Amino acid sequence: MLNRRNLLRGLVGGVGAAMGNPITTENLLSAATVGPKGEVQLTPSSTTPKRVIFFMQNQGFDPRTCVPEGAKRSGELNQWKLPEPIQALEPYKDRLHIINGLHGTHTSPSHSAFFGALGGYRGGDGVPPSASTIDYELSQVLPETLMPHLCIGMDSIENMRSKPTIATLSASGAGQPIFMHSNPNHLYQMLYGGISSGTIRKQHEARSSVMNRIEQLAAAKGNGLPQADLQRYGRFVDGFRDVNGLRERLATVSEHLKKFAPEVDTRYATPEHETDWHDVLLELGVSALRSGITNTLTIGSGRGEIFGAWKGIGVEQQGHNLGHMDQPGNPIWIKIRQYNSEMLVRTMKALESVPEGNGTMMDNTLIVYTSNNADKQHTNGANWPVMLLGNLDGAFKTGCFTQLDGKRPINALYTTLLNVAGKPCDRFNMNEKLAKKFDSSDGVLREVLA
């Protein structure tokens, strides 16, 4: 939770930076270079904040849907044409880095690695997180904002309505899942209800009153619980307190937020297809980045599970059966991946439209696109393709394809992200015993750093 000092720092580092103002030096992300022995050397970067977006598509990410035909070894992307599923990224090849050959065999992904996909540890359906995930860890290292971490989840319209929040991908620690938001009406009220008018404002005020009362009741009733249950119940109370605290913090910058709040249209109340909600959820997530509310956004397309629907783009099949289809050359998966790629382009364009430092927000952003399920639904995780978009103010290589030998885990990429963000470490969520079995080295992935 933010104390008064941290809140003020967040206002300076998040909101102020989003308006193009300099932030304090203690909040600056450091630029990273690799030393002669493979160590990361940090030097102060420009006075601009940084942000990271994770886009996780369920059912796997077959490398043949992203690796250019004929690319057998690492090289510059400008010598190849991008595959049809990611064709929308062709104009952005100079900002793209395709990585093939990481693995996640230790996560036991099968239908999904769930929390293990971003945690780099063994996961499973109904299995609680065993440690924090990389998106949460980065949100704690990057310059502090009003809402350090935002998760949004896209699914069928039925699932998003019946389960507007779900926790399957992100965690702040062992046994501490982070919920993702799937109903854009609820998310809009949380982020922008305080600056709205009419029905939305009334709903926001009513919900705020209820949530405040629930927090008070929860705190009072918990006093009589046995000691063994007190800690678990305390997390429950803290959850309400965090939501209510966020609402109060957002109210302090209401004038600023008005410049970034999306327009509420018919897609919110009466979506024709689930993709209408997917689209507005993306708009809300990107608006939170542009306004400086958050610095870390996690998008779960399929919400980390084996379901999901995309009828709005002409895909009548949905759910588990999609994972039993080969992705390369499949018209259904071409449509889904093209839709993802168009979302990535929309995100980049939105961030490019906001000046920041000597460039734009996109210049200081990294998008990590992959799957919570390695390369396919039924997989042992031996290959886990990843696409990076952007370079985080010059820290990462772009315009290239990197073929690895399959001996380094996804944890190595996460280790690299943390090192670049200014938190030196040799490994992420992998002890020495596990590393001996699943990692051929330690430290950063030198191949991806500029």
Would you give per-residue pLDDT tens digits along the chain (450 residues)?
A: 344 334 333 333 333 333 333 332 233 333 334 455 444 444 444 446 899 999 999 999 999 999 999 999 999 999 999 999 999 999 999 999 999 999 999 999 988 999 999 999 999 999 999 999 999 999 999 988 888 899 999 999 999 999 999 999 999 999 999 999 999 999 998 888 866 556 655 554 445 554 455 445 555 555 554 555 555 545 544 554 565 567 677 777 778 888 899 999 999 999 999 999 999 999 999 999 999 999 999 999 999 999 999 999 999 999 888 999 999 999 999 999 999 999 999 999 999 999 998 999 999 999 999 999 999 999 999 999 999 999 999 999 999 999 999 999 999 999 999 999 999 999 999 999 999 999 999 999 999 999
At residue 255, the pLDDT reads 83
At residue 39, the pLDDT reads 45
Residue 366, SS3? strand
Q: Could you tell me the CA-to-CA distances from 346 to 188, 196, 312, 351 in Å, in that order?
A: 19, 25, 17, 9
CA distance 284 to 290: 10
The CATH architecture annotation of domain 4-184+261-448 reads: 3-Layer(aba) Sandwich (3.40)
At residue 208, the pLDDT reads 52
The burial class, CB within 10 Å (0-12 / 13-18 / 19+), for 388 is buried
CA distance 347 to 100: 23
Work out whether the CA dihedral 102, 174, 56, 375 comes out positive or negative: positive
For residue 121, the 8-state DSSP code is S
| Two structure tokens written together for 280 | 């507005």
CA distance 28 to 22: 10
Strand-pair category, 75-76 with 400-403: antiparallel
Q: Is residue 52 within 8 Å of 420, Cβ to Cβ? A: no
Q: Is residue 306 within 8 Å of 112, Cβ to Cβ? A: yes
The region that residue 229 occupies, defined by phi over 0 for left and psi between -120 and 50 for alpha, beta otherwise, is alpha
The burial class, CB within 10 Å (0-12 / 13-18 / 19+), for 153 is buried
Return phi, psi of residue 35, to 5°.
Answer: -75, 175
Q: Which amino acid is at 102?
A: L
At residue 246, the pLDDT reads 72
At residue 198, the pLDDT reads 61
Q: Break the chain down into helix, strand, coil percent, rounded to 5.
A: 45, 15, 40
